[in-house]
Amino acid sequence: MALKQSLQQRLLQKLSPQQIQLMKMLQLPTVELEKRIKEELEINPALDEGEEQANETNADLEENTENKRNEFNFDDYTNDETPYYKTQSNNYSKELEEQQKPLSFGDSLSERLTKQIRLKIKNDDTKKIAEHIIGNLDESGYLRRELFNIVDDLAFSQNIFTSEENLEKILIEVQDLDPAGVGARNLNECLLIQLSKKKKTISIKTAEAILENCFDEFTKKHYAKISKKLDIDNIAIKEAIAEIVKLNPKPGNSLIDSQISIQQITPDFTLVENDGNITVELNHRNAPQLKVSSDYLEMIKGFQESDKKERAKDAILFIKQKVDSAKWFIEAIKQRQNTLLKTMEAIISFQKEFFLSGDEKKLKPMILKDIAAIVEMDISTISRVANSKHVSTPYGIFSLKYFFSESLLTESGEEVSTREVKTILGEAIDKEDKTKPLTDEKLAELLKKKGYLIARRTVAKYREQLHIPVARLRKQLL
């Protein structure tokens, strides 16, 4: 078949740079918006902090009117041959946008262990083997690689020939390092290493016996089997378990956890309730007022009065690019504020009973489509607004996603929020007899008695979403 050319007409939907910029702005929470504004102020010299002059005298108005008549027109100094992209600005690429800045936390687990082993072991070959073992530890501090594989690695990579028996001895030296439990090959060994460094009380000895002889029964909370196998009563088991739960199952993470600071949530909205009236404000925090730089406006005026307009074409194109970018950015900020407020007001209107009482059971079933219909916007826009945003209320700080939930039919045919069902489910589990926890089937029956038509597997799903373990793992001794 011969190749041929043809002319086709297609209708395509493309987003303008302004729309793309607005979508990115909508996704940003307050703290990130501050950073984004600071970045834009550094990148674009035509963008400046401050408010536009609002108060003008009659003389000022006459002068401004005259200026508008003689307004600088970029088109007088650019022709149709100038490519469109040269007058547009895209101040940060996708790669730059997604770039993450690494945080420095001092010594890593590997570095900390290496420093200790160099002081502990004097023999060079033994020290190299120990360092190689440390290099094979995962982020939790476990050695997941088999010893015979490490023997081969040392032979091929470092020309060090050793045996599994010798490697086992050096591994014990690594397991003696701080934090306690590093170098273990499984959870059982990790817990036993930590117990071995404690004072040998009766409860510690019992805990070691449980882990050595009844580890499988311990993980499944089969306390009756442990009692029979070790010939001990429930009090002894309870005291031993109290010692075990104090241990760290991931000793390698202890160094990281101690260095990570708690991130404070900065609410994007502040809600105030006063005698049944609800008002909401957008948190501007440290976000400055923005305007087009007066220096650039003076430069435009200078070009207007210049006799060398044609020779200044490149400079004019640069100014146009920066001024347009500044105007778009300012407009995107304004549209973001309007969209966020409009959406939040719609959520408040929909969930007014909750915002007046703070009772979670008052939350109505609400999905993105409901709010999109109220504000007459696309669902994707509402999704961007709800993403990573928080509101401060008299009852605490809530994520906007908290107010969205699916509906569930009651026995009477009434629609209720799934969040209401989860609240009742959580309360039922809190009040259960911990020696005989309620199974998912029993929980489903309990909810049905209260009028909530819900299947056992749905109960299991909601329980998992609430991070509540199964009944067997919730069992406790008296």
pLDDT for 317: 77
374 domain residue, yes or no: yes
pLDDT for 227: 93
| 113 in the same domain as 208 | yes
Task: Name the 3-class secondary structure at 245.
Answer: coil
49 domain residue, yes or no: no
Angle, helix 202-213 to helix 187-196, in steps of 10 degrees: 160
* Whether pLDDT at 390 is above 60: yes
Q: How far apart are CA 191 and CA 203, in angstroms?
A: 14
276 domain residue, yes or no: yes
**How would residue 62 be classed by pLDDT, with cut points 50, 70 and 90?**
very low
Q: How far apart are CA 251 and CA 138, in angstroms?
A: 11
| 277 in the same domain as 145 | no
pLDDT digits (tens, 9 = 90+) for 428-439: 999 999 888 999
Pairing of strands 47-49, 269-274: unpaired
pLDDT for 52: 61
Question: Is 451 or 103 the better-scoring residue by pLDDT?
Answer: 451
65 domain residue, yes or no: no
Among residues 339, 366, 399, the one where a domain terminates is: 399
Domain containing residue 230: 109-257
**How would residue 454 be classed by pLDDT, with cut points 50, 70 and 90?**
confident
pLDDT digits (tens, 9 = 90+) for 11-40: 765 666 667 777 777 888 888 888 888 888
Domain CATH number, residue 440: 1.10.10.60
Count other C-beta atoms under 10 Å from residue 226's C-beta.
22
pLDDT digits (tens, 9 = 90+) for 130-143: 999 999 999 899 99
Residue 162 contacts residue 151 (beta carbons within 8 Å) = yes
* Whether pLDDT at 68 is above 50: no
Q: How far apart are CA 12 and CA 146, in angstroms?
A: 57
The average pLDDT across 413-438 equals 86
Residue 265 contacts residue 392 (beta carbons within 8 Å) = no
Residue 225 contacts residue 472 (beta carbons within 8 Å) = no
* Whether pLDDT at 50 is above 90: no
| 232 in the same domain as 305 | no
* Whether pLDDT at 94 is above 60: no
| 125 in the same domain as 252 | yes
| 232 in the same domain as 114 | yes
**Helix %, strand %, coil % for the chain, to 5?**
55, 10, 35
Residue 286 Ramachandran class (φ > 0 left, ψ -120 to 50 alpha, else beta): alpha
What's the alpha-carbon Rg for the chain, to the nearest Å? 33
38 domain residue, yes or no: no
| 341 in the same domain as 433 | no
pLDDT for 105: 47
DSSP structural state of residue 388: T
Q: How far apart are CA 328 and CA 18, in angstroms?
A: 6
**How would residue 212 be classed by pLDDT, with cut points 50, 70 and 90?**
very high
Output 309-312 pairs: Cβ under 8 A, ≥24 positions apart. 309/76, 309/77, 310/77, 312/77
Among residues 399, 423, 451, the one where a domain terminates is: 399
Which of 203-212, 298-307, 404-413 shows the lowest mean pLDDT across its residues?
298-307
Per-chain mean pLDDT for the chain: 81
Peptide bond into 249 cis (omega under 30): no
Question: Is 59 or 400 the better-scoring residue by pLDDT?
Answer: 400
| 251 in the same domain as 115 | yes
The amino acid at residue 104 is: S
Pairing of strands 269-274, 390-393: parallel
Percent of the chain with pLDDT over 90: 37
Q: How far apart are CA 105 and CA 372, in angstroms?
A: 43
pLDDT for 84: 46
| 412 in the same domain as 395 | no
| 129 in the same domain as 249 | yes
Angle, helix 223-230 to helix 234-244, in steps of 10 degrees: 110
| 391 in the same domain as 299 | yes
pLDDT for 100: 44
Q: How far is CA 302 from CA 60, 173, 293, 298, 308, in A?
A: 20, 77, 14, 6, 11
62 domain residue, yes or no: no
The average pLDDT across 457-478 equals 87
424 domain residue, yes or no: yes
Per DSSP, the chain holds a count of helices (H) and strands (E) of 23, 8
| 390 in the same domain as 280 | yes
**How would residue 301 be classed by pLDDT, with cut points 50, 70 and 90?**
low
| 308 in the same domain as 284 | yes
pLDDT for 65: 41
pLDDT for 53: 55
DSSP structural state of residue 247: S
Question: Is 296 or 226 the better-scoring residue by pLDDT?
Answer: 226
86 domain residue, yes or no: no
Q: How far is CA 93 from CA 17, 99, 119, 266, 321, in A?
A: 12, 10, 48, 27, 16
Task: Name the 3-class secondary structure at 98.
Answer: coil
Angle, helix 379-386 to helix 368-375, in steps of 10 degrees: 110
pLDDT for 259: 47
pLDDT for 305: 60
Q: Which runs of consecutive H residues, i.e. helices, occur in 54-140?
A: 58-69, 94-97, 109-120, 124-135
Which of 113-122, 239-248, 264-273, 293-302 shows the lowest mean pLDDT across its residues?
293-302
pLDDT for 200: 93
How many domains are there within the chain? 3
Output 101-109 pairs: Cβ under 8 A, ≥24 positions apart. 105/256, 105/259, 105/260, 106/259, 107/255, 108/255, 109/137, 109/139, 109/141, 109/182, 109/252, 109/255, 109/256
The average pLDDT across 441-458 equals 89
Q: How far apart are CA 295 and CA 28, in angstroms?
A: 30
Buried b (16+ CB within 10 A) or exposed e, 153-172: ebeeeeebebeeeebeebbe
Among residues 399, 425, 454, the one where a domain terminates is: 399
